[in-house]
Amino acid sequence: MSDIAASLDLRDATLYYYFPNKQALVYECHVRSLERFERLIRESDAFEGDGIAKIRHFVAALVEDSYVNGPQLYFGDYSYLEPMQRETIATWAERLRAMLEGVIIRGIDDGSIVACETTLVVQLLLGMLIWLAKWAPDVKGLTAARLMAAIEAFGFHGLESRI
């Protein structure tokens, strides 16, 4: 906790005022990440356009969020949390996965996304987005726009309907 406080230019006492220990702090980081993730899904689902436009909007928003806020915990490892905290995060994460899968299913229904195994596509999409935030900072001059262009070239052309 002392190292965390120092990296934030805080005194230990200030950090302990808000978080009794490191586990409480990291749990709050997971919660904040999931709140942002849920907001991005909801905004993207409300975005005007067909299913593929909504998914593109979501990916671009998530890339921008990661670029601005740094690597996120969205669906990362949380095995070190207390059992009740793990259950809360797991339940929330599963609900968010289902929401994202619903956007893809509606895209399949409107013909803008090819028929696919939506559960696996969501896992691939999440894995790519979560790990890119950790791997991509090593790319010289990386911007959110460059990262989105690479995702567009790699990921979306396999999802677009050929109709």
- pLDDT of 160 reads 65
CA nearest to 151, candidates 64, 70, 76: 64
Domains defined for the chain, CATH in brackets: 29-158 (1.10.357.10)
pLDDT for 136: 66
Given this model, what pLDDT does residue 156 score? 79
How does DSSP assign 32-85, residue by residue? HHHHHHHHHHHHHHHSSS-HHHHHHHHHHHHHHHHHHH-S--TT---TTS-HHH
pLDDT in tens, 57-80: 999 998 888 878 766 656 667 888
Residue 158 pLDDT level (bands cut at 50, 70, 90): low
Report the pLDDT value the prediction gives residue 46, as an integer from 0 to 100: 97
Range of 5-19, 68-82, 113-127 with top mean pLDDT: 113-127
